[in-house]
Amino acid sequence: MAEDRKRFAVIGVSFVVLLAIGALLTFGVVYNNKPGDVETRSVTSDAMSTMKTVEAICSPTDYKTTCVNSLKGVNTTDPKELIKAGFAAGVKCIGASLKKSDALRVIEKDPRAAQALENCKELMGYSIDNLRRSLENAGHFDLNGIDEVLSNLKTWLSAALTYQETCFDGFENTTGDAGKKMKQALKTATQITSNGLAMITDFHDTLESMNMLSTGVRREMLSSDDRVPDWVPEEVVIRGLVERPAAKIKADLVMAKDGSGKYKTIKEALKDIPKKSNKTFVLYIKEGVYREQVQFNKSLTHLMVIGDGPTNTRITFNKNYVDGTPTFKTATVAVLGDFFIAKDIGFENTAGPEKHQAVALRVQSDRSVFYNCHMDGYQDTLYAHTLRQYYRNCVVSGTIDFVFGDSAAVFQNCTFLVRKPLDNQQCIVTAQGRKERRQPSAIVLQNCCILPHSSYVKNGNTKTYLGRPWKEYSRTIIMESYIDDVIDSEGWMPWAGNFGLNTCFYTEYGNTGPGAKTAGRVKWRGVKNITHQHAADFAPGRFISGNTWIPRARVPYTAGLFHAQLKVAHASARRSFV
């Protein structure tokens, strides 16, 4: 089978990837034929070739029967026609699931379950969008650019899976069987999305083993040079973003609480921002506290939002779980559009610790950048939901799981402040939500500081941990960082019993500080020791292909490991916050 896959890679790279995406999008074409129901027909050489290809690309999947059966129903050997048929079937299947959601919502008596069903409808729309762009992207590459394409595909397919899982999460603590019915309605969609991710991952691994990937680009990603590479297009570089104050940057739209801008509220300003733009649009929000819940929709691409400093320009609200809002909808600010940049802004949820889940910022923007921003809250402060995200020189404060989600998120030179929780609560910095082992997601803290907030009082009743496994394959990497003694010696906390303890991936590398001692750490199978080379794989240049998009934002950026820069950065950060 390995030889077959190699042969397919050599003679038909585009064919195999297109076919894999066709399989991925074939959500609903699962035929329940019994052995005696199979219609006798002549098998042409083309059909035999197609079946052999199907079996080869389905071999690495977890749901092989679903994979093979889904492709049996498409009677064509033309990859493009296969994709069209598969996509049409996928849309039909998702549409049926959404109708199921609508029908259940009409009869649902539990308010939380009804809201969960409404959120599922929105989330399935996001899932379809990611599958659609996977389809559109798959046909536009050659071997020289295949590494980037496969990275994109894995990221987008992983996000599609996460949106489906977020749908199911909404039914926790609800009555009735609406959650079970939605899981059943989306069962095939979930399996085929998982299969598609498996196919793309296996294909990537096969090409890598054959040295067919763009290794020159991979070497460049390891550079620690902060300069913008010569190959970054001039037209997409925002010049002087870091060096110049917000008032000196030419903004396309200005808003202010005092009336000196065009609008006084952010929601009003959204109507003047161009949709689906390929050109950066700068929204300048002047100093002030903006008490509103804001969503930058997925149509607002290449948007940059700048303020007058994270303690001067602040967006605040107080939606929370206790008062009846699902966690997914509590965010003060939600960012959906790709290539979003935020600089010098504060995001806050003021609900307080007694209101439990209350998100300050939710991000599902691919290749988004946050520089010198503050995210303040208590439980679930920053929802790093999906896709690729980069945070630099930011401050995040909270109590329980205050950085969570299933994105591929890298935090560099950021500070995490542990706030005082309720008397019966423990504090946890991260709760990463990777559901499947092939998802290219993780929370990475690099050259960061984990410190107590001024409100935090260390005592025997309250302990603080680096993270806990929200989902089975939770993955968190903390490296080259300063960890204060606010962190308990065990380091990591279970979620519930033995769940995820053997399948998670938690590691600490090159950290300093009194809380960085690993001798007393928990002895789970999922807690790993890694090498220098492995640590470099989680730096942003490699892990989120940062060299291809982060320098465009003109923010400080280190592609690889920091090494000797650590002590200076840590000392500076401690003086600022302790």
> 245 falls in which pLDDT band (50, 70, 90)?
low
Assess whether pLDDT exceeds 90 at residue 105: no
46-55, 78-87, 214-223, 429-438: least confident range? 214-223
Tell me, what's the pLDDT at 140? 58
Strand order in 527-528's β-sheet? 253-255, 281-285, 303-306, 341-343, 368-371, 388-392, 408-412, 442-446, 475-479, 505-509, 527-528
Q: Which residues are catalytic?
A: 401
To the nearest 10°, the Cα dihedral for 63, 64, 65, 66?
50
In this structure, what token pair is assigned to residue 68? 């093979």
Tell me the C-alpha distance between 148 and 170, whole Å.
33
Q: Which two tokens stand for residue 561?
A: 């490991």
Across 9-18, 52-61, 527-536, the highest mean pLDDT is recorded for: 527-536
Q: What is the DSSP letter of 38?
A: P
Better-predicted residue by pLDDT, 197 or 449: 449
3-state SS assignment for residue 147: helix
For β-strands 464-467 and 294-296, DSSP reports them as unpaired
| H, E, C per residue of 229-283 | CCCCCHHHCCCCCCCCCHHHCCCCEEECCCCCCCECCHHHHHHHCCCCCCCCEEE
pTM of the model: 0.88
What's the CA gap between 302 and 236, in Å, rounded? Answer: 9
DSSP string, 314-333: EEEE---TTTT--GGG--SE
Res 273: pLDDT: 97
Say what the pLDDT of residue 249 is: 73
User: Any idea what the Cα angle at residue 300 is, between residues 148 and 310, rounded to 5°?
Assistant: 95
230 or 378, higher pLDDT: 378
Amino acid identity for residue 108 in this structure: E
> Predicted confidence band at 247 (pLDDT cuts at 50, 70, 90)?
low
Q: What percent of the chain has pLDDT over 70?
A: 75
pLDDT value at position 394?
A: 98
Residue 311: the pLDDT is 97
Where does the pLDDT of residue 12 fall: very low under 50, low under 70, confident under 90, or very high at 90 and above? very low
**Per-residue pLDDT at 204:** 77
- Triad 120, 121, 123: Cα angle to 5°: 60
Lowest mean pLDDT among 105-119, 213-227, 407-421, 542-556: 213-227
CA–CA dist 246, 250 (Å, integer)? 8
Does residue 40 carry a pLDDT above 70?
no
Residues 133 and 181: their CA atoms lie apart, in Å, by: 28
pLDDT in the model for residue 108: 77
**459-502: pLDDT as tens digits:** 778 999 999 999 999 999 999 999 999 999 999 999 999 999 99
Residue 382 binned pLDDT confidence (cut-offs 50, 70, 90): very high
- The pLDDT score that the predictor gives to residue 460 is 74
The pLDDT value recorded for residue 508 is 98
pLDDT score at 496 = 96
Is the pLDDT score of 41 beyond 50?
no
Rounded to the nearest integer, the mean pLDDT of the chain is: 83
329: nearest Cα among 98, 167, 476 = 167
How high is the pLDDT of residue 83?
Answer: 47
Confidence of residue 231 (pLDDT cuts 50, 70, 90): very low
Exposure class string for 77-105: b at 16+ Cβ within 10 A, else e:
eebeebbbbbbebbbebbeebbebbeebb
Cβ contacts of 577 within 8 Å, gap of 6 or more: 395, 415, 417, 449, 451
The 10 Å CB-count burial string (b at 16+, else e) for 284-293 is bbbbbebeeb
Phi and psi, residue 459, nearest 5°: -150, 180
- Average of pLDDT values for 297-317? 97
Q: Average pLDDT in the 158-184 region?
A: 92
What are the phi and psi torsion angles at 360 (to 5°)? Answer: -85, -40
What is the greatest pairwise CA distance in the chain? Answer: 78
Question: For residue 96, what pLDDT band results from cuts at 50, 70 and 90?
Answer: confident
